[in-house]
Amino acid sequence: MAKLVERFICPVCKRHSTNEPEALKCRNSHAVIKEVWAVSEQYKEPWKNKACNVAHYGEERALFEADLPDDIAKRKQKIAELIDTDPEKCRRLGYTQKS
């Protein structure tokens, strides 16, 4: 199951931090950008692995995307299963038979 993780990013050097004090230390005179990302709980270091930006996808789809496998065949199979079991959720997330 995916979870939401906050990242704190230095806008100058783009260094990712897991907490604000680290990012503030890095920023010197520039502001820190806060982003919310959905990451799969299977990763111990989420900032180094697959993650989906909530601002881009929206919270529900980002959480779903983060849990999808990277393998295209397995990904299509999981989406096809969801289309069969919950077509309304698929429409809400923006998936179709051709996704």
User: Tell me: the pLDDT tens digits for 23-69?
Assistant: 888 877 677 678 888 888 776 665 566 778 888 888 888 888 888 87
Please report which confidence band the pLDDT of residue 98 belongs to, taking 50, 70 and 90 as the band edges. Answer: low
- Cα 40 to Cα 42: distance, rounded to the nearest angstrom: 5
Tell me the per-residue pLDDT of 69-79, one tens digit each, with 9 for 90 and over.
778 888 888 88
Which residue, 5, 4, 7, 31, is CA-closest to 18? 7
**What one-character DSSP code corresponds to residue 11?**
T
- Tokens standing for residue 5: 């993780």
Q: Where are the alpha helices (DSSP H) in the chain?
A: 20-27, 54-57, 59-67, 72-85, 87-93
Check whether 21 has a pLDDT greater than 80.
yes
Tell me the per-residue pLDDT of 80-94, one tens digit each, with 9 for 90 and over.
888 888 888 888 888
